[in-house]
Structure formats: C-alpha cells, structure tokens
Amino acid sequence: MAHPTSLVCSRCEQIYSANCKLNLCDCGAPLLVRYDLARVRRSWNKQDLAHAPHTMWRYDAVLPANTEEAVTLGEGMTRLRSAPRLGALLGGQEVRIKDEGENPTASFMARDVSMAVTMAKKLGFKKLALSSSGNAASALAAYAAAAGLETYIFMPSDVSQANFIECKGFGAYVTLVDGLLGDCASFVAERAPSEGWFDVTTLKEPYGIEGKKTIGYEIAEQYDWQLPDAILCPCGGGAGLIGIWKAFAELVELGWLAGQLPKMIAVQAAGCAPIVRAFEQGAVKSEPWPGARTIASGLRVPRAIGDALVLEAIRGSRGTAVAISDEEILDGGLDLARSEGLFAAPETGACVAALRKLISRGFLRSEERVLLLSTASGLKYLEIYSTRFERRSASEQDKLGGLITPR
C-alpha cells in the first residue's frame, strides 16, 4: 500500500497535498513526493520482496499508487550485467551495467511514464502532453494507448526514426518542431491550458520521478544492499540521477542501507554540458547552453529543470561531472558492443568513455566497483551508429530490407 503524504517544492520547500493536480511549484521548481517513511518502516521489510511482482511495482509501499492501480507493461527489474571484458579493457575495473534497454519501448523512460500515466489516470486526466527528445515520447505513446488516453507529443524534427514511428504507431498525435527540446516544451506550455492537457514531461509533474527512483531500489536489492562505489549516469534532464539519489536517501531513512553512498557521476556531451560547466564553476544551478549540439539526443538538453537537484546529488556524494565528445561517445558504444555483446544507446557509450577518462585521471581507483546506467537499446539509434558503417547499395530503398523490396 502506497503512503504519499505530501508534495514538497525542491527549492522553496512549499508543501502541497499529495494528490494535487499541479505540475511545478508556484516558484517554478520541481515538486517531489514525500512519504511517512517511519510508518512504512513499521509495515514493510526486505522479506516482503520475496513475494512481490517482478516489476518496479514491487516497491509500491514507497510509490504514490499501488500495484492494483498501475498502468503497466511489465517495466522494471532489468538485469544487472557483469562486464568483465569491458573492465579489463579499461584497466581491470569491476564494472556492472544496469541494462534499461530491457524495459518496454526499450528505454528507462518506461518507468517514469508508467507512474506518470498511472497518476494522471488516477487524478482524472483524459489528455496528456509531452516534450521529448525521443524515448520519453515512445514510452508515453505506448502507456497512453494501454490506458486509453489521448496523448500529444512534441519532438525535435531530427528525432530518431525509431522514436517517431513508435509514437505514430501507438496512435499519438505527433508534432515535429524545428528546434531544440526547449522549443518543444514551449509549445506544450502555451497550448496545455486551452487544450486541457496534463503535461507529463519529466520533472514537470511530480510523479514520474517516483518511477525513475525504482532504478535505485533495484540497484540496492541487486547488489544485496551493499552499493557500488560509483554510478555513472547519462545526464540530459538528469531524472535518472535524481531518482536514484532519492531512492538511496529513502533507503537510508528506512534503515535498509548503511555506510557511504556511491559517488554519483553525471555524464554529458561536450556539445551540451550545462551541468558540467555549473559543477566546475561551483554554481548551484546551470545556465542555458547556447547552440546545443550532440549525436546523443538524450543528452541534448540545454537547460534541465532539475539542474539544482543534480548538482546537489553530485556534490553530496563526492561525485563529479564529465563531458564527452561525439567521437568518444561512438567509440564507447562500440567498445561496449564488442567486449560484452551489448548494443546500447549512445548515452551509454558516453558513460563508457567517461569511465575511461576518470580512471586515467585517477578519480576512480582500480579496486572501486563501478556501475554504468545504460538508458536504452542501441537499436533505437541506428542512424547515429550508421555513420561508422557505410553501406553500399543500388539505392536508398534497397536498404529497407527484403520484405519491403523483394528480390
């Protein structure tokens, strides 16, 4: 049984009712769900997980909705993969990978969207809207279809073909915007009041981050409650890192974790690194990154609404922030594929390259246990990887495959 008690502003700490229909706080900052964890601690323990569903909803005691209410496609409990060959390639590090590409619609966005759609339906919304660089859009289209809700999606016009086709295939109303993610968000903000849309863009509603935090609960459980020394997270909007850190804080309060928490490491692209710049300057929030440009669409976020929360988690964990070039991103993705047989999104390639860099700098020692968060399957980014593998054919149509162009 879930026990949400309130929503609390992450900046000014204003308190709202647990099931209010707000997106952001009046001050413009994200809202976070709070629970009566002392009460949860008395009624829920680790042994209860032995009989819990093998999805993220096994943690519904610390979620704002319970399993019976869930709009679910089976998200969560993705594998924690050992990566010994990659570790050896990087100098002997113990490396594991949390493979979020196993989720429905092949990305970790399934988690927050499952929760956001569940809560939107619970609160009585009929129409949902979202600005997205790709994977959140695919997930929302799928979960809205499963819930019988209308969904309106705004994505940059250069979004991957896989994401665009998924959204259309699931029946979403899709608008491609000639601009960046912020331009897409402006469209949603302008039209939502008159259209009656509930904006479920990550961190612009308070419930999705509760889905994302289940990654942290799973990491703790899969590591047998002895966390790794460092966790590398791709950081566009930063929801993954924020959610994992929130989970660890709750687990400490529940008494399920003890000792030092992992170093949280934010990985960005060199062509869009507002968090890295703010971290290096000692700032408490980031400034918009002009001319954002990178092949990793999930990292192309010029200004994250949760930037202050990301910076707080990095510093609170003795972590750091790293910027990676597009060439290094592709190299890292292919190193992972060739050493471990895991074809992951470019954002994961950025984490591989960041790990190499942090080892060479001495920030991470060889005896430290490292976890990489792999956010999505590489099959959703074939256009990006194809730049490394020229394919010669008589025409572009011939690349579509034998079922489409029979011979």
List, for residues 37-54, the tens digit of each pLDDT value.
999 999 999 999 999 999
* Mean pLDDT on 202-207: 90
With 60 as the cut, is the pLDDT of residue 347 above it? yes
Percent above pLDDT 90 for the chain: 87
- DSSP letter, residue 375: -
Which one, of 383, 385, 357, lies nearest residue 370 by Cα?
Answer: 357
Report yes or no: 70 and 114 within 8 Å, Cβ to Cβ.
yes
Domain 80-106+209-387 adopts which CATH fold? Rossmann fold (3.40.50)
With 70 as the cut, is the pLDDT of residue 402 above it? no
Residue listed under structure tokens 């204003």 = 14
Report yes or no: 64 and 119 within 8 Å, Cβ to Cβ.
yes
- The domain spans of the chain are 80-106+209-387
**pLDDT attached to residue 407:** 45
With 80 as the cut, is the pLDDT of residue 77 above it? yes
With 70 as the cut, is the pLDDT of residue 327 above it? yes
Instruction: Grade residue 400 by pLDDT with cuts at 50, 70 and 90.
Output: low
Cβ-Cβ contacts under 8 Å for 309 (sequence gap 6 or more): 10, 30, 238, 242, 245
Beta bridge partners of 320: 265
* Mean pLDDT on 122-135: 93
**pLDDT attached to residue 2:** 54
